[in-house]
Structure 1
Amino acid sequence: IYGAFASRKLLKLKDKPKEWVLRKHLSTQERLSHYEEIYSRVLKGLKEISVIDLGAGVNGFSYAYFKNLGFDVEYLGIEAIGQLVDLMNSYFKKEKIKGKALHVSLFDLDRIKNLIKETKKPRIVFLFKTLDSLELLQRNYSKKLILEIAPFTERIVVSFATESMAKRKKFKIKRTWIIYFIEKNFRVLDDFESKGERYIVFGKK
């Protein structure tokens, strides 16, 4: 996934257009033709917003879609891969975007909460295709993370793949554990699928 973003190529990548970068990362490649649909739904009813993107990858390069839809977004990307953080920050600086990326582990929960609290309200947190990776490292950490950050947010959006990106086959795993958890503890605002990725938008009850 990260081969195109190796540190030895970083200087060259800084001059690449945003669409090129989004196409080179598997998750953002899948969303590229659907970003406006996704953002219009998950941000519906909001205008000036802080977006906190946990496990951002290179999703910060999609910032222009916020602007195209009329959303005034202050963007904070949290990413564990340092090269991707540098790449996003270079892009934000070049394009004079109200955004920054930080090299922070999602397991540093106290710092994550403090960073969220430092942003302006209203706040929405993205967890796009992040939960499976967290669960591989620590079972049930996703639930803990969501419960801990929820009091400081207006909305949280989680997403997960429903198709194999390579073969376009539906997965048998339905992730009922996270769906049940969300429905039990939160108010679901929207639930939809786009290009092999399911999005659940929820907030406090």
Structure 2
Amino acid sequence: MNVAVIKYNAGNVQSVLYALERLGAEAILTDDLERISKADKVIFPGQGEASTAMKYLKERKLDKLIPQLKQPFFGVCLGQQLLCEHSEENDTTCLGVFPVKVKKFVPQNAEEFKVPHVGWNNIYDLKTPLLEGLDDHSFVYYVHSFYCELSEYTIAKTHYIHDFAALMNKDNFYAMQAHPEKSSLVGERILKNFLSL
């Protein structure tokens, strides 16, 4: 199986590559349009800032390619947010795969809720084969200040300050706010399920 991991100058790529290697997947890190188009599966990882990442995607015409891809596609963390239509992070127009807005966490009580949301939290209301074999309220690892709003595309939720879309799915596009590569056996199972789609 040929897996393309999209390179767009966002952090956290090496740990994703290691996680895929542990699962026996042959993954290449690339921003080459043809290689991405021909891959069996595509993973869109990342930590970073939305407008800088979108600038890189536009410079390489990845903003045009990504929404047209037909193979299973998995956006992670910033990769999930960039698949949405707009992010409040520097007022960024994103890729528009999901007609969903990305908003900044606003804590009602700064003593109780810190931003960014960092650490382990659970996912629930699980749907789709991507989450097969997982228990409701399985724990995953988060690091983020912005979140995707709930919508008809939400396939799992997490509560921090309020409910938000932990995972989303539309057609061949899947996305996850937490880091599967840092989420122990739960994250490994999600990656494994994605590779099996």
Considering only CA atoms, is the larger Rg found in Structure 1 or Structure 2? Answer: 1
Both structures adopt the same fold (TM-score exceeding 0.5):
no
Report the structure, 1 or 2, having the larger strand content. 2
TM-score range, shorter chain: 0.3 to 0.5
Report the structure, 1 or 2, having the larger helix content. 1
Q: TM-score, normalised by structure 2?
A: 0.35
